A and B are shown apart, each in its own frame.
Chain A
Amino acid sequence: MAMKDVPDNIFMTQLDAAASWARANSLWPMPFATACCGIELMATASSRFDLARFGAEVMRFSPRQCDLMIVAGRVVMKMLPVLQRIWLQMPEPKWCISMGACACTGGVFDTYAVVQGVDRFIPVDLYVPGCPPRPEQLMAGIIALQDKIKHGGTLNGTEFGKRTQPMGPTPYDLDELIRIREANEQLVSLN
């Protein structure tokens, strides 16, 4: 559709696309840094790697001022209610990056105290693997998240309403079955 009367400095777009474009280029991370991944997160934000190039340099330690939670490091059982509460305190629209092996799966800490992946209890948009991931890897993750926001985002967040299922593994996931079997074997050998 050609519009002859529109001046050169006017662009036509959809409101969803414009809002998503703005949101994607102005992410405000909430650094939930509990372990060594937090150090890499700090390195990512500092001058050498310079997260400001992607518009995400303003780390706020109040969840009320953030829209991107970066869970960097292992989360223990006692910390999980805190994590959930901080997530609930963040205003919409919000996204979550699970950074590192421990946040994604529990990593090497397969013990009674450590949560085996935060995606079992809070929704996760993007996983960054690594132990810990290098800053480049986290930046690649943030770029991928920006891409996701730009392509699927809507003005009033209707894309979030469809995600009604927990993100973590189901009880009959192969990985989960192996875990249950190993836990039972341990119990049998002790009793």
Chain B
Amino acid sequence: MSTEETLQSKFPAAGLKCSQFRDNRRVVVPAESLQPLLAFMKGDLGFDFLAEITAVDYLEYEGATDRFGVVYVVVNTKTGERLVIKTFVNDPDPVLPSAYSLWKSADWLEREVYDMFGIKFSGHPDLRRILTPDEFSAYPLRKDYPLKGRGERHNFPVITRADS
């Protein structure tokens, strides 16, 4: 039985959507089933490595119904099996359960998604910005954030030659 079939039989009510593009195997899961599904994959299916968490902003994307897609890539290091798990969250308060209790690598990955997209992860031990400065106030990879910023790069004290 393939991993997708196992997941379908374990979570029949969740409405999982499985698809494949070349060797990318993908499972779309509703946000409320995400935590039990990830826990099942870690605990029972042996997916012991969380390779990546990232997000996509579907603002003004043709045919999209949800604002943010959050993508998890998990790997079974015994078999080399790799699965992409995708879920959707929406404004005004995008929150997902943290995967930190399952994989420690979720720590910085979730901080990066929080920093760039403003998606919060409940249960994360230390949800701070990781790439931009602490005083940065925007989420720069959101599609409604201008490429050139909102003046953040000009808000520094100026040192002239006379006072240095």
Please give, as numbers and ranges, the residues of chain A lying within 8 Å of B136 by CB-CB distance. Answer: 77
Q: Is the interface of A mostly helix, strand, loop or mixed?
A: loop
Q: Mark A74-94, 1 if CB is under 8 A from B, else 0.
A: 000110110010011000000
Q: Given the complex, which residues of B lie within 8 Å of A114, measured CB to CB? A: 153
| Contact yes or no, A123 B164, CB < 8 A | yes
CB of B164 within 8 A of CB of A113, answer: no
Q: How large is the interface on B (under 10, 10 to 19, 20 to 34, 35 or more residues)?
A: 20 to 34
Among residues 142 to 164 in chain B, which have CB atoms less than 8 Å away from a CB atom of chain A? 143-150, 152-154, 156-164
In the assembled complex, the CB of B137 is this many whole angstroms from the nearest CB of chain A, namely 12
The number of chain A residues touching the other chain, given as a range, is 20 to 34
Also in contact, A163 and B160, with CB within 8 A (given A112-B152, A113-B140, A114-B153): yes
Q: Residues of A with Cβ closer than 8 Å to B?
A: 77-78, 80-81, 84, 87-88, 110-116, 120-123, 160-168, 179, 182-183, 186-187, 190-191
A77-B152, A113-B149, A116-B153 are known; give 17 further A-B pairs, CB within 8 A.
Answer: A77-B136, A77-B153, A111-B148, A112-B149, A120-B154, A120-B156, A123-B159, A123-B164, A160-B161, A161-B162, A163-B160, A163-B162, A164-B161, A164-B163, A166-B158, A187-B150, A190-B143
Chain B interface (Cβ within 8 Å of chain A)? 131-133, 136, 138, 140, 143-150, 152-154, 156-164
